[in-house]
A and B are shown apart, each in its own frame.
Chain A
Amino acid sequence: MGAFDFLLQGLATAAEPMMLLYALIGVTLGTAVGVLPGIGPALTVALLLPVTYRLDAAGSLIMFAGIYYGGMYGGSTTSILLNTPGESASIITALEGNKMARKGRGGPALATAAIGSFIAGLIATLLLAFLAPWIVKVALVFGPREYFALMVLAFVTVSAAFGDSALRGLTSLFLGLALACVGIDQLTGQARLEFGVPVLLDGIEVTTMAVAMFAVGEALFIAGQRIHIDDELTAVKGSIWMSASDWARSWKPWLRGTFIGFPIGAMPAGGAEIGTFLSYATEKKLSKHPEEFGHGAIEGVAGPEAANNASAAGTLVPLLTLGLPTSATAAIMLAGFQQFGLQPGPLLFATNPTLVWGLIASLLIANFMLLVLNLPLIGLWVKLLTVPKPWLYAGILLFATLGTIGANPSTFELGMLLGFGVLGYGMRLFGYPIAPIVVGLILGPMAEQHLRRALSISQGDWGYLVQSPIAAVLLGIAALALIVPLILRARGKGEMLSQLAGDED
């Protein structure tokens, strides 16, 4: 069967009434949480993970897909109306979109963002569906050394390639790797770094750590700033519909944004931000109205928003086909799979095709639902933006602890939540990025297993790791991604890299 047959089968799974209901709940919750200021997609997904604990695997993952796409949509509304991007990938949207809103063109800005997200999500999900079987075929010949090389590449791109300091990126990554060592060694069964605490034998829960880092750390940081003026909300005036000239100026940026964003998300290049920046630069260069850029150009919303969503779908390519999360959001999604004992990767396509294709198909359905849900209900979402900060953060912490308690109602687990929250606060204070520590924690054990398997095959010969062309090329790219930015920074060209930095996803 080709990808098309599988996709049709998946649509049949995802179109069952219960599954549609799960998808609807997912997109609604995802949008509602994603729209709240200060909450990016990674935190949205982490906060809503406990809602899915007691569902069956298919229903839960479908709800999850809805939450993921919903969180992305919600984030763009926040950045257009509040000018406080909840996530780094929305910075550009905030730049042009908020200017449009101030000129009374908030409606068209929201519309072009929503429709652009829809088109990008549609094309990118279809690309995902048609690419996935090919990558799975390639991945079937991957051995432990290729996987190890892929993970090294993901480590480097997440931690050192972008951001304002390789030192702090790498420190964050190595702290994650150190935490990943806690627990029973998967190959010999020996307990490591558990200090006599039985709970630690299972290792450190990724969701506890992610929620602590993103929710608790962020709440502490914002509280410490003690600036309690609520951000100024720009009201949506006039028609929310786009005029004919808005359409004419939007459709090309949507398509360009999609084809810029998708490959960047699909490569282990760390985050959606880069795609949005590239798309913005492209639109600025190609626009017939370059003078409007910086003052509310609709192309500057349409292109980057499409790129943002396309690369979000792109990160699902390595996640589903290789089991490789390349962003914090994807790392939390991987944790969502693992709660059902599912390991994404080529094997999952073979052993549980209904589930995988149902998930991909439900992404398409979620995308349609979001378009319908977003434009007419925009007034409702805007109301959510006006929640005052005390209630907002009190609620965030309530749900953050709820997730931890729901997964494991123990005092020790809450203590870890608090401990990692304080660590996350300290890291924010000193300018350490958060994504590397999360990715290090979740990928660390896998990288170790693949490394040790590879070395078992070669009987301890390290040269084996670079003797396969694929592994050698991947490791070579990883080395370049580590060294080139170091040289650029040393020559004082680091500003561009720090602009590409991502906090969250």
Chain B
Amino acid sequence: MTISGEFIAFMGLALVAIIGGVLLLNLTKVVHMVVALIFTFVSIAGIYVLLSAEFVAAVQILIYSGAITIIMLFGIMLTKHDDEGETTTGKGRKVLLFLGILGFAAAVYIGIYDFNVVQVPTDLHVDNTMKIGEALYSKWVIPFELTSVLLLVALVGAIILAKKDEKEGDKE
């Protein structure tokens, strides 16, 4: 394996993503966990850039790192913000967990060891944003519209839920 710039970049990003994930599980304060999560999201966006999917990368940052994490932060800060996670430990449980992880790792290893990746010469990086748009509005138009209806329902529901409190609120 040759060490190219792409490899170094991938290793860096993957390392940050994994460290972020591990920290997310291991930190005790909830707000710190969210910060670790931001690092994971951003480095995954970086991996998308390496795969020449800039559009997906930008959307990843915009939606996951930008909007969703902010909502989580708000939720945490407006509730019990200094809540520390408690650790539940038991010896048998730990052993079981370790066995489970080993099994999972073995399964993944067997799964991907002989996985034959067909190297197709692609031109994915050319006009990929336009191609995403074309695919969404021609081939996948029905799932796309269904998703938008679902989001609309969620939006209306959120407004109704939020409106309920205001009945006894002060009227201007």
| Pair from one complex | no
Residues of B within 8 A of A (CB): none
